[in-house]
Amino acid sequence: MTTSAMKRRLAAAARLRRAAAGRPHRDVLDAWLVKAGQVADAALGAAVTTDGETLTFHLDVDEEGPAWLARALAAEGTEPPDLAALTSCVETLRPGRTGWWIAARGEVLDRGWALGGDLPLDRALEIGGATEPARQLAAWAERHGVTRATRISRSLGRGNRYTELWLPLDGVVEASAGEAVLDGYRSLRVLPPPPWVLWAADDRPAVLSVWLTAGGVSKVGLLVARPRTDEVIRASLTAGVPEAAQLRFAEVEGVLGTVERAWMEVRRFAERTDVQVRIDL
């Protein structure tokens, strides 16, 4: 049964999807939202990049999450080995929240699952794979007293799959949060974000986000909570997002009315840098 609160969230998500019209996968996204609306006691959110290229919807469930998620993924045609991997991760990490997500960028569609809560970092890193970047992250975490992850996600789409880890910076030792982030980027041999973004990590909740793949690292990002409009614009300019695209993003945000931005993430990929804003619907 869809609650009145979920109906409001779904209406906002539908407006957001229509504002991003022209996406090749709009019918798939609409169908995903219909399924999401059937889940009771769930939180629905979205993420949009300021270049207008990527739109993501995510659903977080507390009660009966793992069992429900396994059924939802099976209905999508997820292969048995991937379902078994999810079951193993749940047993290992014992998450407090379970998530389901879908993302569209151009012709590419990806989807997957997420687990949230106070997750032991050593076990989360083992799930990410025994790669050199995972060992570098473990060493970085030991230096700065980071012992937990707050989110682990797994992509199930075609191509170069990844495992994403969110590493909170609220308890770092031997350095400020910004200095710890800078050390993390250097450890992974990735160009860090601008200094002012690092400074923002010192005065509000912030998270280091890493995509681990079989071949190494495909993305490193810094999330800062509750970004102001001027910070989103400044980060977008730094990332080289054209002004016309930024205006389009403002229009997309505008269809939601009063927007509660949860996070801004400056994301470094091998081929690009972008800025993603996560919104609580």
Q: What is the pTM of this model?
A: 0.94
Q: How far apart are CA 154 and CA 123, in angstroms?
A: 15
Q: Are 151 and 206 in contact (CB under 8 A)?
A: no
What are the phi and psi torsion angles at 104 (to 5°)?
Answer: -125, 130
Question: Does 246 have pLDDT greater than 90?
Answer: no
Mean pLDDT of 187-200: 90
- Summarize pLDDT for 156-165 with one digit per residue, the tens: 987 789 999 9
Domain spans of the chain?
A: 4-280
Locate 62 and state its tokens: 């507390």
| Structure-token match 């992250």, residue found | 137
DSSP 3-70: -HHHHHHHHHHHHHHHHTTT-TTHHHHHHHHHHHTT-TTEEEEEEEETTS-EEEEEEEE-TTHHHHHH
Q: What percent of the chain has pLDDT over 90?
A: 56
Mean pLDDT computed over every residue of the chain: 89
Model confidence band, residue 186 (pLDDT cutoffs 50, 70, 90): very high
- Summarize pLDDT for 68-116 with one digit per residue, the tens: 888 889 998 999 999 999 999 999 999 999 999 999 988 889 999 999 9
- Summarize pLDDT for 2-60 with one digit per residue, the tens: 677 888 888 888 888 887 755 788 889 999 999 998 887 788 999 999 998 899 999 99
Q: How far apart are CA 178 and CA 164, in angstroms?
A: 20
Question: Does 176 have pLDDT greater than 70?
Answer: yes
